[in-house]
Structure 1
Amino acid sequence: MSEDLTVTVWNEFRHEKENDDVAAIYPDGIHETIADGLRDAGYDVNTATLDEPEHGLSESVLEETDVLAWWGHKAHEEVGDDIVDRVVERVHDGMGLLVLHSGHYSKPFKRLMGTTCSLKWREAGEKERIWTVEPGHPIADGLPESFEVPQAEMYGERFDIPAPDELVFLSWFEGGEVFRSGCCYTRGEGRIFYFRPGHETYPIYDQPEIRTILANAVDWAAPGDGPDPYFGNADPIEDLDGVGRCTD
């Protein structure tokens, strides 16, 4: 783990204000519970919410953010397109992005995927079993072969996303459906991890396995130290004397 990483956890922060059941589980907001777990893992974590100026995602905030975690559900359309442009640009430039639960319908994720990101769903409080299908992946470090979320909202296939670069987790639900629940992508220089669990009416972000996954995902998605790519007209690296010339 890189302790010098800066993480920003973004949340609409609407359910917690409008629904007493959600407020009882996440009294300080889903973002603060996620942030507490990442702070416990040693990261420098800030939070931002929808109703702050610029949704809390000013240019300076994003410039200082190594990994952005995004939770949204009921107010996707309220996110300004200028902020979406800003987030997508930062991902292309190398910022990591963790997209959580219903954030699959967020504007940044849909823009980066280029698909509808639609799926089946059912809210019945059923058991979810999460299988680690890529045990050698860094995001799976320290996890068992499978573990259970006691109560969850069902998401089912087909999930209209591009085929993941790597699929780390697969979910099975008590009602019979399966779902690609831990998907890795690269866009430009940035890494993206979509992780399914996290419905607002269940204390999923307090579960130790979930906290381990999110902490591992931050480390995986963080920017690397590779060379900066150059685009455009380029001078030759090698000597081109005589190339393309006719000789007698």
Structure 2
Amino acid sequence: MRVLVWNEYRHEKEKPDVAEIYPDGIHGAIAGFLQSEQVEVKTATLDEEEHGLTEEILMKTDVLLWWGHVAHEEVHDEIVTRVHKRVLEGMGLIVLHSGHFSKIFKQLMGTTCDLKWRVADEKERLWVVDSSHPIVEGIGEYIELEKEEMYGEHFDIPTPDQLLFISWFEGGEVFRSGCTYQRGKGKIFYFRPGHETYPTYHNPQIQRVIKNAVEWVKPEVNNKSVYGKAEPLETISIKR
């Protein structure tokens, strides 16, 4: 399986506290725990040519992970269209944390994807809603993070195909933190935690969810659909 981890890679270069947590970038941290004998992982960042998302690279990508925050508008529209096309063709997409406001996620959802937020070093509990789903395999009743950014409802997204996590925060808010969708042939998973100033992606349970999600959103092996003008089907005469 071929996985591509995409990241703006701005905070890590501009903020020493973020660089201390993620010296190789958030993309480097995620790529590090995903890499295995069965999974080939590469990374791409915003400032690379074509944002590292060329036609050739995307055609060789089974699963794309997306982390963005402060530079959503810098992503070129033609690249968004390119990624959108690949998702419809079957490429899996995992959107992480503030990637909810990325152009690609908003285009796929068809809504503003807006929400409430607060950075206040709050405890978060991500409660498992559907314990039978493969993405939550190996996770207990909940994941507890001592410090995270708060996201709160209303989250302006379409009703998820499946809701896997609901978060509770110390301030009292709740949030739909693990949502699955299908667009065309592509599976999509949105996973909320991952603010850049917290070591969330070093947490073994968060890593387990992302690993499970990569396996779940990967393309299915099936016959390619045929579109366009169709000739009448051959009729079969039945003798009596």
Q: TM-score range by the shorter chain?
A: over 0.9
Q: Residue type of the partner of 2:131?
A: P
Residue 98 (structure 2) aligns with: 102
Residue 11 (structure 2) aligns with: 15
Aligned partners of 1:207 and 1:31: how far apart in 2? Answer: 15
Q: Equivalences for 1:116-135 in 2 at 5 Å?
A: 116-135=112-131
Aligned partners of 2:79 and 2:152: how far apart in 1? Answer: 30
CA deviation after TM superposition for structure 1 residue 237, in Å? 3.7
Query: Which of 82, 101, 114 is the matching residue for 2:78?
Result: 82
Query: Which of 163, 180, 183 is the matching residue for 1:167?
Result: 163
Aligned partners of 1:197 and 1:48: how far apart in 2? Answer: 21
In the superposition, the TM-score normalised over structure 1's length comes to 0.93
Partners of 1:41 and 1:215 within 8 A in 2: no
| Cα-to-partner distance string for 1:153-209 (whole Å, 9 max, x where unaligned) | 000000000000000111101110000000000000000000000000000000000
CA deviation after TM superposition for structure 1 residue 43, in Å? 1.6
Query: Which of 173, 179, 185 is the matching residue for 1:177?
Result: 173
Describe the SS at the equivalent of 1:24: helix
Describe the SS at the equivalent of 1:194: strand
Q: Equivalences for 1:1-248 in 2 at 5 Å?
A: 5-40=1-36, 42-239=38-235
Partners of 1:133 and 1:170 within 8 A in 2: yes
Change (3 A) 1:119 1:53: same
CA deviation after TM superposition for structure 1 residue 40, in Å? 5.0
CA deviation after TM superposition for structure 1 residue 120, in Å? 0.3
Partners of 1:98 and 1:195 within 8 A in 2: yes
User: Over the residues paired in the alignment, what is the CA RMSD in angstroms?
Assistant: 1.2
Aligned partners of 2:219 and 2:38: how far apart in 1? Answer: 17
CA deviation after TM superposition for structure 1 residue 71, in Å? 0.1
Q: Residue type of the partner of 1:134?
A: D
Q: Residue type of the partner of 1:222?
A: K
Residue 244 (structure 1) aligns with: none
Residue 245 (structure 1) aligns with: none
| Cα-to-partner distance string for 1:57-113 (whole Å, 9 max, x where unaligned) | 110110000000000000000000010000000000000000000000000000000
Change (3 A) 1:75 1:41: farther
Q: Residue type of the partner of 1:208?
A: P
Q: Unpaired segments of 5 or more residues in structure 2?
A: none
Q: Residue type of the partner of 2:71?
A: A
Describe the SS at the equivalent of 1:128: strand
Aligned partners of 2:149 and 2:121: how far apart in 1? Answer: 6
Q: Which moved more, 1:54-63 or 1:232-241?
A: 232-241
Change (3 A) 1:137 1:41: farther
Aligned partners of 1:37 and 1:145: how far apart in 2? Answer: 23
Moved over 4 A (4+): none
Partners of 1:84 and 1:108 within 8 A in 2: yes
Describe the SS at the equivalent of 1:112: helix
Q: Residue type of the partner of 1:179?
A: F
How many residues are treated as equivalent by the alignment? 237
Q: Unpaired segments of 5 or more residues in structure 1?
A: 242-248
CA deviation after TM superposition for structure 1 residue 230, in Å? 1.8
Aligned partners of 2:145 and 2:187: how far apart in 1? Answer: 26
CA deviation after TM superposition for structure 1 residue 229, in Å? 1.5
In the superposition, the TM-score normalised over structure 2's length comes to 0.96
